Amino acid sequence: MENLGNKISEYRKQLDLTQKDLGDKLNVSPQAVSKWENGQAEPDASTIKKLCEIFKISTDELLGNDPPVKEIAITAAPVQPVVERVVQPVVQPVVERVVEQKIINGYCEECKKPVGPNEYVVTHSGRGGSIQHIYCNECNEKRIRSARIYAYDEFKRQNKKSLILGSLIALGVTALFCIMFMVIIKLEPLWATGLIAVGVFICWLAFGIQVFWEDSVVPDIFFFFLKSFTFPGVIFTLDLDGIIFLILVKVGGAILCAILSVIVFLFGLLFTPIASIFILPFAAIKRAFEGRSLKKAAN
Ligand SMILES: [Zn+2]
């Protein structure tokens, strides 16, 4: 019976199921589903009943004893029903019947509109992606766009802040050294020459630190060591001695970490400005490119 096969195939595709998906639901092989759809075999009565339950139709509809159904799926925007698929007409005269059927997978978190297959995006947030969000395609696009615009604005803001602060510090240091220079040149001319060299050097350092502080290695290392304050403990024995030992180990570890982070911090403080001088031109170029690509993404 070819009609039954065609109908099974039609209804299956409407639900976006593969032959294997349908077979799994019915506990039969995908080959069996394929044979039904090609008219090489017919499902038994109990399987037909199950098929109708899956397709949410009556047995009459599946077996073609009913007038043909022109099915209209109501799409997500409930303004105007759009004809998505017309089930192929069979023998009898055409009687139109609107079946309000819509597969809903969830609701968009932004606009609360119901969304069906291929109409939404699932995103995850939180530690290890524990919270799931569903957004319709339009809202998701808007979110991506506003995130890009935000990233570019944030970049511009940070860049401006760094440049202003860096310039101010460099200017301040220059002014300080000019004053010192004018005082010292009256006392000792040779010292003053040396002071100019040191002053220019320190201006560069101050500028470099300020502009590239956020990208520098110092805070990263510092916070890495700070994090070790919360390292998990292992209880060696579950009696009082064991617990005291554990506390001592944790306190000792914390003190060690504090000392280490101060040493690393001071070392980084010394290292960063020296490195900044050499990094400055390259980093400035890199920032310019970064800004350009962020701007391009936002527009
Ligand atoms: Zn939405």
69 pLDDT more than 60: no
Ligand 1 centroid vs 131 CA: distance in angstroms?
A: 18
Ligand 1 centroid vs 98 CA: distance in angstroms?
A: 26
Ligand 1 centroid vs 108 CA: distance in angstroms?
A: 5
Q: What residues does 122 pair with on adjacent strands?
A: 134
What is the average pLDDT score of the chain? Answer: 74
Backbone φ and ψ for 85, nearest 5 degrees, come out as -150, 140
Among 174, 171, 192, which residue's Cα sits nearest to residue 183? 192
The arithmetic mean of pLDDT across residues 241-262, rounded, is 78
Helix (H, G, I), strand (E, B) or coil at 18: coil
Residues 28 and 22: their CA atoms lie apart, in Å, by 8
Which of 45-54, 133-142, 200-209 has maximum average pLDDT?
133-142
Q: How confident is the model at residue 54 (pLDDT cuts 50, 70, 90)?
A: confident
83 pLDDT more than 70: no
Q: What is the CATH number of domain 2-103?
A: 1.10.260.40
Supply the pLDDT for residue 95.
55
Residues 50 and 43: their CA atoms lie apart, in Å, by 10
Ligand 1 centroid vs 135 CA: distance in angstroms?
A: 5
Place of tokens 């944030």: 154
Contact 148, 155 (CB under 8 A): no
The arithmetic mean of pLDDT across residues 58-78, rounded, is 57
Question: Would you give the DSSP letter of residue 99?
Answer: -
Place of tokens 């397709």: 55
138/16: higher pLDDT: 138
Ligand 1 centroid vs 109 CA: distance in angstroms?
A: 6
Give the start-to-end residue ranges of the domains of the chain: 2-103, 145-298
Residues 207 and 164: their CA atoms lie apart, in Å, by 10
Supply the pLDDT for residue 17.
83
Which of 14-23, 124-133, 215-224 has maximum average pLDDT?
14-23
Ligand 1 centroid vs 150 CA: distance in angstroms?
A: 20
Supply the pLDDT for residue 98.
57
Ligand 1 centroid vs 74 CA: distance in angstroms?
A: 17
Supply the pLDDT for residue 136.
92
pLDDT tens string 157-214: 887 887 787 778 777 777 877 787 778 777 777 777 777 777 777 766 766 665 555 5
71 pLDDT more than 50: no
The arithmetic mean of pLDDT across residues 210-223, rounded, is 56
The arithmetic mean of pLDDT across residues 10-32, rounded, is 83
1 pLDDT more than 80: no
Among 36, 101, 42, 94, which residue's Cα sits nearest to residue 66? 94
Ligand 1 centroid vs 100 CA: distance in angstroms?
A: 22
**Alpha carbon 14 to its chain's center:** 31
245/97: higher pLDDT: 245
25 pLDDT more than 50: yes
